[in-house]
Structure 1
Amino acid sequence: MKKTNASDTSEGPDSFVQLCQEFSVSGFTAVPVKFSSGCQSCQLLYLKPHQVRGTDDIRPAGRTLFVLNVPPYCTKDCLHRLFSRCGKVEAVNFCKRPGGQIYTDDPSTFFPTSQEIRTFKVAYVVFEKPSGMKKAAGLKLSEPFVLSTREQPVVTGMKKWCQKYTQDRPDVGQLQSELDSYMVDYDKRKQEELEREKSRGEEPDEEGWITVTRHGRTPGAPRTEAMEKKALKREKKKRSRRELMNFYTFQIRESKREHIAQLRKKFEEDKDKIATMKANRRFRPY
């Protein structure tokens, strides 16, 4: 009996069916894919309906297909083309591991905050209707699905790195345009925040103070002279705590002398108190 492996694709359509059956995993459907039409080897995607206990808006139950063993060169467009034959695809999301954080495409061209997943990954394919997900969960292909075609090529290898090198050297005009749009959005957010604070009566006073009470913030009241003295006293106390005490040898010696003098003074005061208490005692047995 001949043993079939994932790189043996020379026996025609029947060999792919046998390949999927041999390398199938319990509960999953194996779908063969290959990078291009000229590739002699293929990769198996394992998929099944996604099941969750709670509610998830990004991966809704009943409409989400869980896909494992997705190769690094497989893009969202590739999976969209693959599963569109089963029904209308609403979204395709990638994760590094099952149940992990969803990878989001960074809108920034020159300052990306998220890194591309460069290893084998997990995909969640969300269909518009549950019927599309059910049909995709039992998908059977007679031959591997080609990911990179002439009409929709997938950029890899040296071309991909050259493209990334070019993107990392931005045009000055485009860079300035993106910076300007970011600053406009930032100023808009700050203005909206100030307007919300004014509407709630949280506008700071002349010195920038906002009074906070048990029930929330209240409009800042003018600071009186007594309040100013208390604030200065607290600040002085904090400053004295931060100061480095007893750093030099003579400071340590003087602090010890002062401590001994205070103890002697307290001892004499206690002796006087005891003598006074004895003198005022009414009951004198002797």
Structure 2
Amino acid sequence: MVVFDAAMWSVDGFKVVNLKVSHDSITTHTLYVKQHTVREHNEHKPSDRTLFILNVPPFIDETFLRDLFNKAGEIERIQLCDKPTSAEIVETTSLFYKKPKVGYKVAYVVYKKSAGLQKALQIRELKPENDVPKLCSGVLKWIHEYNNGIPNMIELKTKVDTYMENYDKEIKKKIENEKASTEADDEGWITVTKQGRKPGFERKESVTNKIAATKNSKQQKKELTNFYTFQIRESKMNHVIALRQKFEEDKKKILLLKQSRRFKPF
């Protein structure tokens, strides 16, 4: 249901913003914006400073959105994702293998001040600045993404060599620590570890807890009851105490029955 307001159009709580991708463009694209609100506070997307945008076309990126919405105020960060989410979007750190976002997206524009959000909610129409580069779409966009998806072999080799060098250093340090642990300490004790071609693997915490629980259950089964003299004495004393308690309870019950004239011993 579309409701016409005196100030602007609104659709189910979203305010409609017309977007022109270029100054000479005849057609417009519709964006739907509103203040981002969630039940729990999110430090990465504060409700008083975050603008939630729907229907973001595939050819629009973070740079283009920043150029469009920075008129309302200084922007702290912009996040593009495939569907709405309250969690922080963690981008891949790889410089060579980046999966491009396809299809229509949603965007979160976080302003540095809440006044920027209020100004952004009053925008009716957006136009790119003169210095915004021409957008790449269609077949040209696919070619551009394919060419960017091919990694630079020299940079890739440098990255792999650096990673393997750091990995070798960690393995060497681990071996040195294991050798140091086999040496006798000040008191003459030596820590024994499993060595050989297959030294095994580190156990998970769940496996360690399960083994400990099994060991405890077996230890409890091994304990003998009424084997020692003190155990027999304690069991007899506990039995006598239980009988005395039961005798006192029976006496109270009989007294109550006598008072209610329901006591008939014969």
For normalisation by structure 2, the TM-score amounts to: 0.57
Q: Deviations over 1:143-195 (max 9, x none)?
A: x4238x5543332233322323323333321221222344356567x57x959
- Which moved further from structure 2: 130-139 or 68-77? 130-139
Name 2:16's counterpart in structure 1: 30
* Unmatched 5+ stretches in structure 1: 1-16, 218-286
Q: Deviations over 1:40-74 (max 9, x none)?
A: 21111111110011122321221111111111111
Aligned counterparts of 1:74 and 1:85: Cα–Cα separation in 2: 17
Name 1:117's counterpart in structure 2: 101
Flag the 1:100–1:119 CA change in 2: closer, same or farther, 3 A: farther
Aligned length: 187
Residue 108 (str. 1) matches residue 90 (str. 2):
no
1:69–1:120 CA contact under 8 A, matched in 2:
yes
Residue 89 (str. 1) matches residue 75 (str. 2):
yes
Name 2:55's counterpart in structure 1: 69
* Unmatched 5+ stretches in structure 2: 182-190, 209-266
- SS of the counterpart of 2:107? strand
Identity among equivalent pairs (%): 29
For normalisation by structure 1, the TM-score amounts to: 0.54
Name 2:193's counterpart in structure 1: 205
Name 2:39's counterpart in structure 1: 53
Residue 183 (str. 1) matches residue 164 (str. 2):
yes
- SS of the counterpart of 2:16? strand
Flag the 1:151–1:83 CA change in 2: closer, same or farther, 3 A: closer
- SS of the counterpart of 1:118? coil
Name 2:85's counterpart in structure 1: 99
RMSD: 3.8
- SS of the counterpart of 2:135? coil
Name 1:163's counterpart in structure 2: 144
Match of 1:174 among 155, 160, 163: 155
Name 1:139's counterpart in structure 2: 123
1:95–1:102 CA contact under 8 A, matched in 2:
no
Shift of 1:91: 0.6
Q: Deviations over 1:236-268 (max 9, x none)?
A: xxxxxxxxxxxxxxxxxxxxxxxxxxxxxxxxx
